[in-house]
Structure 1
């Protein structure tokens, strides 16, 4: 049992550093913007992984503060639970809670198919069967508006049979100057071939804060690097003269945890009866026989210390992570959630973590800045849920949608000039 959990914990730690070395540009031939779509605005959606809600001010990200002061600054953006990378990146581009779009964690199990998704498994990441909802680029392409992705969760899979016209498989092998040049070259294409939606992902400051902690010089340096990249990107795009709107977001925040007192996996868990998906902030148990759920739940409740135990049917409604929300049956039958600042680990955990309830642990909250011709200027807004970014971008691009989503345009309508 201990060996299995140690292996899973190790897999979780290295998964954030996983990178493919595919630096080839992928282009879907035969597509063009219709004449109507050529007249629409442009959106570059930027994500800086783990860019906590207060990082820009805390670490003096001068360019981001100046750019967003001429546009929109949110007090914070509230991630969906669990506040981890893959679920929240996919929520941002679908407008749906993880329990609704299907990516319920960075790693999870589908008991009906006896299959497991893991963010570090390339075959799973590129398999469209795991992805529900309609990502922004799929919606755009369906309406004959070209899209491009310089990395985003789901962009490597043919979701609903569609990938972005221009995309790269995830890799850290492409330098920042090269990434900026790629975006610039996309925007220099003829109008009928030019993408109006571009996603642009940065893995920092998440990596640095995981390793060194969020309150460190290394985290500050990572924030400064992100600030510099965003400035260079905006300057390059400005030279094109195109009406480009920038939306800068993050998937979650980051917090310092108790590294001296990790919580070991409860000894009462019977690995012969349950499939165990292990992470530092969520331990999910999938019963092989449903008759074993109640006895295991009761045993865990008796021994629980520094963590909460929930049946899937009893998860707090605010998390949108219970049985009623689990549309694809991918959430564990029993969930163990540690009390911040404690985390699950069989060894000394890393300094920085995320995954906690963002309404209870404020450090989990993310960033939202926006600027460009479509946005009001010098506007500060209160915190809002990240499901609302999707309808906002759809509105800017002049697209239509009929799918039921969790985000509401009313929440962010006030940030737009029109």
Structure 2
């Protein structure tokens, strides 16, 4: 097992063995392998892509907290001013937008928790049984696209990778767990890339739950968050060093799903009393209150009441959500967005108790702190290139192009946005 430099062994233990950021107390550490899969010979000479997400790694964290390895690696490749998350700027929708090229309202994961009106079922990122069901996931994730082209893929904890989507799972994947040490995670990725050519993955996704967890607990400005950022910095460096001796044409994309901001902890917004839970279902709250009316005749009366009481939040009908959210009735392909949406105005959040120190989920057009990081380096990328901010749905066509994977499905991302960063 690799030794982690920068004196982070204790830090790693703290963050990755005690954190329960996505799915509580998962203990299955078995690798799932589709043993009958073999790469088509036409894919063998393709490049390799490792897509790394550090949850909640805000666009300015690397510079702010002197993440020396990430700064150096990105300076050798591509640095974006920021990457703009989709709305709502929360974990599950945005991780899935990155790998499908679609806005949340189009791929179906419209929030971390939501109600499907067609079936009456509820989805939650903390409900393991739901997370494993492929019916919740629209679009064609990158690993499914790769496998459709008979290219091998491998996943470590990316949103959606545990479910069978379009009848396909990655060739190699793990159920989400925080029981692996960082050294073990790096060892697994190295082992994947050390496999014989016909079994070796060309697309690897790698999810890290920090610095999101720490930023939620202590806030984006806390020394604990600085420590979490530096730990991620060390993990990425150790991964690149472990892969280097394999002498493979590996390209790295380091990004995040969203940013993080400090909120008003002393004056949270209470759930409006006008919302009678006998008549309405609140599917989510926090930085977006999503309300479904059991009887659609009750939508307008509640909307008018809330509009009259509107303070520290904006009230919208789903039919009238501003276009830049891509989150209105026209966009809602799977009927999972509430009839009435309450969008708090930063730094306010909905909460029945004292909120945590850090939050995300706000409109990234209004709250820059929601912006995420995007760095890329490797043989396919231009060197020493800085690019402007762009939407995260554009990562999908970029990676598909790098790997020579064609797609027919209509997506929201456009190749021309990022094609110029390739050599």
Q: Name which of 83, 92, 103 aligns with 1:97.
A: 103
Give a deviation string over 1:301-337, Cα, whole Å, max 9, x none: 1112100100001101001000110011100000001
CA distance in 2, matches of 1:92, 1:413: 16
Q: Name which of 191, 198, 207 aligns with 2:204.
A: 198
TM-score by length of 1: 0.96
CA distance in 1, matches of 2:260, 2:25: 21
Query: Residue in 2 aligned with 1:216?
Result: 222
1:156 and 2:168 correspond: no
CA distance in 2, matches of 1:126, 1:15: 17
Query: Residue in 1 aligned with 2:321?
Result: 315
Say if 2:382 and 2:421, in contact at 8 Å, map to a contact too.
yes
Q: Equivalent residue of 1:156, what SS?
A: coil
Give a deviation string over 1:193-241, Cα, whole Å, max 9, x none: 0000000000000000000000010000000000000000001111100
Which segments of structure 1 move beyond 3 Å, counting only runs of 4 or more?
13-17
Q: Equivalent residue of 1:284, what SS?
A: strand
Q: Name which of 283, 293, 309 aligns with 1:287.
A: 293
Q: Name which of 367, 371, 385 aligns with 1:365.
A: 371
Listed as ranges, the matches of 1:366-381 within 5 Å are: 366-381=372-387
Query: Residue in 1 aligned with 2:11?
Result: none
Query: Residue in 1 aligned with 2:73?
Result: 67
CA distance in 1, matches of 2:305, 2:21: 31
1:87 and 2:78 correspond: no
Query: Residue in 2 aligned with 1:41?
Result: 47
Give a deviation string over 1:234-286, Cα, whole Å, max 9, x none: 01111100000000010000000000100010001011111112321011111
What is the alpha-carbon root mean square deviation over aligned residues? Answer: 1.0
CA distance in 1, matches of 2:325, 2:120: 26
Deviation at 1:18, TM superposition (A): 2.6
Listed as ranges, the matches of 1:113-128 within 5 Å are: 113-128=119-134
TM-score by length of 2: 0.95
Aligned length: 405
Q: Could you list the runs of 5+ residues in structure 1 that have no partner in the other structure? A: 1-12
Q: Name which of 302, 312, 317 aligns with 1:306.
A: 312
CA distance in 1, matches of 2:150, 2:118: 36
Query: Residue in 2 aligned with 1:269?
Result: 275
Q: Equivalent residue of 1:375, what SS?
A: coil
Q: Equivalent residue of 1:93, what SS?
A: helix
Query: Residue in 1 aligned with 2:3?
Result: none
Residue 14 and residue 279 in structure 1: after superposition, are their counterparts in 2 closer, same or farther (change >3 A)? farther
Say if 1:16 and 1:207, in contact at 8 Å, map to a contact too.
no
